[in-house]
Amino acid sequence: MTNYFYVLPVRNEFFKSLLTLLMGLMLVSHLSLVLAGNWNNPYTEEQVASSTLFSSFSQSPKHLDPVVSYSSNEWAILSQVYEPPLQYHYLKRPYTLEPLTLQKMPNIRYLDKNHTPVSSDSPDLVFTEYLFTLKQGIQFHLHPAFVKDSSGAFLYHQLNAQDVDDIKSVMDFEQQATRELLAADYVYALKRMALRQNHSPVLDAMKQYIVGLDEFSKQVSEQYQTELNAQNKRTQTHFFDLNSFDIKGVQVVDKYRYKVLIKGTYPQFLYWLTMNFFAPIPWEAVAFYKQSILVEKNITLDTSPVGTGPYQLVENNPNKRMRLLANEHYRLEQYPSEGLVEGADPKLLLDAGKPLPFVKEVIYSLEKESVPLWNKFLQGYYDASGVSSDSFDQAVSVSSTGNMSLTPEMQEKGIQFLNIVQPTIMYFGFNMADPVIGGYSEKQQKLRQALSIAINFEEYISIFLNGRGEPAQGPIPPGIFGYTEGESGINRVIFDWKAGRLQRKSIDVAKQLLAEAGYPNGIGKDGKPLTLHYDTAATGPDSQSILNWYRKQFALLGIELVIRATDYNRFQDKVRKAKVQMFSWGWNADYPDPENFLFLLNGANATIHTNGSGINSANYDNPEFNRLFQQMKTMENTPERLEIIQKMLNIAQEDAPWAWGYYPKALSLYHSWQHNVWPNPLANNTIKYRRIDAVERVEKQTLWNPPVMWPFVVVLLLIVASIYPLISAYRQRQTAVISNKQDKV
Amino acid sequence: MFEYIIKRFLFAVPILIGVNLITFALFFMVNTPEDMARAQLGAKQTTPEMIQSWKVENGYDKPLFFNTDATGLDKVQQTLFVQESLKLFAFDFGQSDSGRQISADIQERMGPSLSIALPTFIIGLVTNISLALLIVLFRGSRLDTVTMMVAVAIMSISGLFYIIAGQVLFSKVWHWVPISGYTEGWEGVKFLILPIFIGVFAGIGAGMRWYRSIFLEEMSKDYVRTAKAKGLTDIKVLFGHVLHNGMLPILTGVVVIIPTLFMGSLIMESFFGIPGLGSYTIDAINAQDFGIVKAMVFLGSVLYIIGLILTDISYTFFDPRVKLS
């Protein structure tokens, strides 16, 4: 009785409170729904509703200084900001160069030793002269470095601590100004490249071609170092005036024209001119950024670029977000009105002739993990996404013939799909300097040919890449001059052409070749199975299945494969010193020329001949191949050149310094509200062509992300409901203790 | 007490030198300056001239511990270890090998790390202690048994599972909060709710069990029996006496953590896109950026030492018998 006496009122109060809470909760949730829109929207509503492109990056950019940066993740941002003289046409294939800041393609003259013009095939040809003529009226982004006071002196070039108290980025300076792009800015960029202390990765390559660059580099680098030592300063905080030095082969002709003199001929030089190394740099910005007070705040040319491009980097937090804003003063550049390849979506020309850029803001958010990236794409909060192995089955279905298409779930969302073979080769290399696996005798050739057949890359692509790749026939990937499609382009050492399809030779053929190489059934002269060593930096648990697969392929021939896994430093070191037998590596095109792939097999570039700095890691050195390479490398893309390339490929295929590997495919998905998406793996400045339909995006995001309220109510109910039994149990426990004690007493 | 603190800080100096020595030795055992240069300059087009220039620029052309080319005291002074260590003791972290100012980076990243770590720590502490007291209140009952089983289950599941499951459930299926991201100010609260909730939830199992064992030990002491004999309720005994007396062992484990909260959480920040310090060291190790590695190891050691000193000081507040001398 006593218990009921005090429990009943508690129960009534409890249910009253519960009811009040529930009503309050429903009201709050209803209001929240009405007022707040999508709760899981990581951006502001204004951003989503505007012409903003939402993208992500997984690796923080380390360098945004155009003479230093050489990574694709950095170029993805940098190429929207800086403008080298040339660019790739967005739509045309094969890849075609066109002027970007130039009025027209450079004028090219061939000169003899006295600088007298000669024909391109003249034996007296010693130099090639490129004359660049800039478009007039191009302006740099607004930047404090250009601001001058009434006396004409730079306002922000002598800053003190108080001046930058509230400054976190260059955008925080009260005054901003601009100036016109001049030919001297391009020449200044070349001079910066030559300064050894700037660590430009292409300096040593360019020294071979640009007249006087080597001497200039030595001169200015030594002088700069002398000044640094004398003043006990670091390069970040000491401005070195390069304007007072000249490169012999580089000359400012007038305000809008400059010349570059190249040793001999080097047609690939034009491709280099699409890269950010050759983008203009205003000297005022360099002088401005050398102030130690700014360097302490990480405000440098390496973090805050200043260019002439369609976008300006207004926020750079490499650990969080990069934000580009459309350049309001961008000159009139129009969307292309021609060049669509056969089979491409005609909608790609709907915006022909319209001024660029379309997207007004680009937000790159750091996403280190693939799971949140993928889920946010599905929610509509990223406009595009790649396809990781984890999400492949959800996104893509592969037919029995290997054709890829979107799954019904993706199609229902209106997601679009692009699938292209990249200008990249991932190869399995044999060290030609190794006494067992290397060498040029017929037997050694046959050993490598047998292995090339046994390592079934079609199977590799199917198992480990979800079909995202094509078996390589040689070093040149599709889309590059010299690659031949179909039967005439196959590697006949490894493949046959049957029923209109590529077919790998049987393992019996490989066994036969192995026997002819002196290893019948994989057994050597000593009666023991042949043991080969594969060096790799793949040490993680995910790599074990790939390494086991390699072992299995070698076991098909009776060969024992020993895996020598090590860290990446040691692996690189071993390859450089030719202390490996077999290894895997890859190469991504710098420019769309076969020379950029065939030089990977040129003997002069062998690591053992270059003290480890060469890029021919297989140390392949066939004199005939080398001779043809020299002949081919400076030729125009003519049928004669194609014939030479074919000869080179045949030689390499017979020698088999690589097991050739595969050309990877890039899959990208993008939402229906993003337009003008066209893959161009060699061009990085493509955001200006994209267009966003923000209205459609908002509609779909709202449709896909309504907050689900019932779990919230259930959880709260459970919490509230558990309070009563707890109180009840506590009271019972208290009285139980008392009564027990009373009983005992 | 002041003397004691000074003494403890002085003791910290040889410890920090030792930590530095080990960091330098271990790092350069695995990476050579050439490797570091290649990592910074990229694999393509790297020449010996570029590597040498980078080494000179970043001071890695000096010997590590002993300079045979120098004379006198310079044999030790003109080494990478002495040059870099001295700066660290002046809290001059210098610049990373990629050229960024480390102090500026740390300042920028500390806030986001704290915005998750501090609420997770405080809410987690309060939740765990409250639940532990609740369980102690019902000790020996079925509620106690079931809760302990649940606690063990929570402990047994990987934190990664909670993160991914939390993101899928709360963000992808129920659309309550953003999956990942970060913004400063009140607008950023929506990004913090899920990581803090998951951080607290994932720590409940271990925390609750630990605090429960501390409180149960206290419950068996004579003063508790005396308090009960005087007629105090269980709640008064627990909150009035057991909690206060149980604070000493709790402080031992808790206060030392407080300064290191600045260092952030690697996995949590990585999955939720929080721009904190959690991945700073790991990213630097992967990028072979010794400038950051040495700075962060040094900072971590200093914060840990401060945590230990704070622990000692906090004892005096909860136990008047403890005197620091």
Question: In order of start, what are the domains of chain A with their CATH numbers?
Answer: 2-39+707-744 (no CATH), 79-299 (3.90.76.10), 424-665 (3.10.105.10)
Q: Confirm or reject contact between A70 and chain B (CB < 8 A).
A: yes
Nearest Cα neighbor of A451 from A403, A502, A417, A493 is: A493
Instruction: Look up tokens 């310079």; give the residue.
Output: B74
Q: Confirm or reject contact between B179 and chain A (CB < 8 A).
A: yes
**How high is the pLDDT of residue A395?**
93
Interhelix angle B80-89/B2-30, rounded to 10 degrees, is 150
For A409-447, give the secondary structure using H, E and C: HHHHCCCEEEEEECCEEEEEEECCCCCCCCCCCHHHHHH
**What does the block give as tokens for A229?**
């030592």
**B101 inside domain:** no
**How high is the pLDDT of residue A23?**
60
CB-CB contact of A321 with A60 (8 Å)? no
Distance CA A149, CA B317 (A): 60
- Best of B30, B40, B53, B286 to disrupt the A interface (most A CBs within 10 Å) is B53
Å between A39 CA and nearest CA of chain B: 5
Chain B 223-252, residues with CB within 8 Å of chain A CB atoms: 233-235
**B136 inside domain:** yes
Q: How confident is the model over A446-465, as pLDDT tens digits?
A: 999 999 999 999 999 999 99
**B324 inside domain:** no
Give chain B's radius of gyration (CA, Å). 25
The neighbouring-strand residues paired with A325 are: A312, A361
The sign of the CA dihedral B130, B132, B138, B144 is positive
Nearest Cα neighbor of A294 from A180, A202, A455, A164 is: A164
| Residues of chain A contacting B234 with CB distance shorter than 8 Å | 730, 733-734
Distance CA A319, CA B278 (A): 11
CB-CB contact of A577 with A464 (8 Å)? no
**B314 inside domain:** no
Work out the mean pLDDT of chain A and round it to a whole number: 91
Residue B141: CATH number of its domain: 1.10.3720.10
Q: Supply the DSSP symbol for A46.
A: H
Give how far Cα B261 sits from Cα of A150, B192, B292, B305, Å: 50, 16, 18, 13
Q: Where are the beta strands (DSSP E) in A83-203?
A: 86-88, 97-99, 107-111, 117-118, 127-133
| Residues of chain B contacting A705 with CB distance shorter than 8 Å | 175
Residue A420 has pLDDT above 50, yes or no: yes
CB-CB contact of A466 with A664 (8 Å)? no
**B318 inside domain:** no
Chain A 112-141, residues with CB within 8 Å of chain B CB atoms: none
Peptide bond between residue A707 and the one before it cis (omega within 30 degrees of 0)? no
* Of A63, A371, A572, Cβ closest to residue B38: A572
Distance CA A179, CA A160 (A): 25
**What does the block give as tokens for B47?**
């020449």
Do the chains contact at B275 and A71, CB–CB below 8 Å?
A: no
**What does the block give as tokens for A532?**
């080969």
Q: Confirm or reject contact between B281 and chain A (CB < 8 A).
A: no
Distance CA A210, CA A51 (A): 43
**B277 inside domain:** yes
Q: How confident is the model over A668-682, as pLDDT tens digits?
A: 999 999 999 999 999
Work out the mean pLDDT of chain B and round it to a whole number: 89
Give how far Cα A561 sits from Cα of A523, A529, A551, B105, Å: 13, 10, 5, 46
Distance CA B248, CA B232 (A): 23
Do the chains contact at B178 and A203, CB–CB below 8 Å?
A: no
| Residues of chain A contacting B103 with CB distance shorter than 8 Å | 296
Q: State the CB neighbour count (10 A cutoff) for residue B152.
A: 12
Number of separate domains in chain B: 1
Nearest Cα neighbor of A176 from A304, A354, A8 is: A304
Nearest Cα neighbor of A277 from A60, A85, A104 is: A85
Residue B162 has pLDDT above 50, yes or no: yes
Which residues have C-beta within 8 Å of that of residue B72, sequence separation ≥ 6?
A: none
The sign of the CA dihedral A578, A580, A581, A587 is negative
Peptide bond between residue A541 and the one before it cis (omega within 30 degrees of 0)? no
For B178-227, give the secondary structure using H, E and C: CCCCCCCCHHHHHHHHHHHHHHHHHHHHHHHHHHHHHHHHHHCCHHHHHH
Residue A402 has pLDDT above 90, yes or no: no
**What does the block give as tokens for A356?**
């660029």
| Residues of chain A contacting B165 with CB distance shorter than 8 Å | none
Distance CA B27, CA B294 (A): 9
3-state class (DSSP) for residue A495 = strand
| Residues of chain B contacting A572 with CB distance shorter than 8 Å | 35, 38, 43
**How high is the pLDDT of residue A150?**
93
A631's enclosing H/E stretch is: helix A623-632
Residue B194 has pLDDT above 60, yes or no: yes
Q: Report how many Cβ contacts below 8 Å link chain A to chain B.
A: 163
**How high is the pLDDT of residue A2?**
38
**What does the block give as tokens for B40?**
């910074």
Q: Confirm or reject contact between A610 and chain B (CB < 8 A).
A: no
Nearest Cα neighbor of A183 from A230, A136, A120 is: A136
Residue B159 has pLDDT above 80, yes or no: yes
Task: Determine the average pLDDT of the residues in A506-534.
Answer: 95
Do the chains contact at B45 and A204, CB–CB below 8 Å?
A: yes
Give how far Cα A223 sits from Cα of A67, A193, A197, A245, A584, Å: 20, 15, 11, 11, 42
Q: Where are the beta strands (DSSP E) in A509-624?
A: 531-536, 560-565, 582-588
Å between A294 CA and nearest CA of chain B: 10
Q: Supply the DSSP symbol for A363.
A: E
Task: Determine the average pLDDT of the residues in A567-571.
Answer: 85
Q: How confident is the model over B241-272, as pLDDT tens digits?
A: 899 888 888 888 888 888 888 888 888 998 99
Chain A 48-67, residues with CB within 8 Å of chain B CB atoms: 60, 62-63
**How high is the pLDDT of residue B315?**
82
Q: Confirm or reject contact between B134 and chain A (CB < 8 A).
A: yes
pLDDT top residue among A34 and A546? A546
Q: How confident is the model over B276-322, as pLDDT tens digits?
A: 998 888 888 888 899 999 999 999 999 999 998 888 888 887 777 77
- One DSSP character per residue, B290-307 reads HHHHHHHHHHHHHHHHHH
Do the chains contact at B273 and A365, CB–CB below 8 Å?
A: yes
Which pLDDT band holds residue B325 (cuts at 50, 70, 90)?
low
What values do phi and psi take at A458, rounded to 5? -65, -40
Which pLDDT band holds residue A5 (cuts at 50, 70, 90)?
very low
Distance CA B106, CA B109 (A): 5
Q: Confirm or reject contact between A204 and chain B (CB < 8 A).
A: yes
Å between B47 CA and nearest CA of chain A: 6
Distance CA B216, CA B144 (A): 12
Do the chains contact at A296 and B134, CB–CB below 8 Å?
A: no
Do the chains contact at A320 and B275, CB–CB below 8 Å?
A: yes
CB-CB contact of B263 with B162 (8 Å)? no
- CA-nearest residue to A42 within chain B is B178
**How high is the pLDDT of residue A645?**
97
**How high is the pLDDT of residue A1?**
36
Q: How confident is the model over A624-649, as pLDDT tens digits?
A: 999 999 999 989 899 999 999 999 99
The sign of the CA dihedral A653, A654, A658, A662 is positive
Nearest Cα neighbor of A100 from A329, A314, A287, A279 is: A279
- Domain of residue B271 covers 107-287
The neighbouring-strand residues paired with A139 are: A180
- CA-nearest residue to B168 within chain A is A375
| Residues of chain B contacting A302 with CB distance shorter than 8 Å | 99
Do the chains contact at A379 and B172, CB–CB below 8 Å?
A: yes
Instruction: Look up tokens 């409890």; give the residue.
Output: A14
Which pLDDT band holds residue A343 (cuts at 50, 70, 90)?
confident
Task: Determine the average pLDDT of the residues in A723-738.
Answer: 77
Residue A10 has pLDDT above 80, yes or no: no
| Residues of chain A contacting B276 with CB distance shorter than 8 Å | 319
Percent of chain A with pLDDT over 90: 79
Å between A354 CA and nearest CA of chain B: 34
CB-CB contact of B271 with B163 (8 Å)? yes
- B242-251 burial code (b ≥16 CB/10 A, e <16): bbebbbebbb
| Residues of chain A contacting B55 with CB distance shorter than 8 Å | none
- A696-711 burial code (b ≥16 CB/10 A, e <16): ebbebbeeebebebee
**B120 inside domain:** yes
CB-CB contact of A29 with A709 (8 Å)? yes
CB-CB contact of B97 with B58 (8 Å)? yes
* Of A40, A234, A317, Cβ closest to residue B175: A40
Nearest Cα neighbor of B209 from B279, B284, B156 is: B156
What ipTM does this complex have?
A: 0.87
**B255 inside domain:** yes
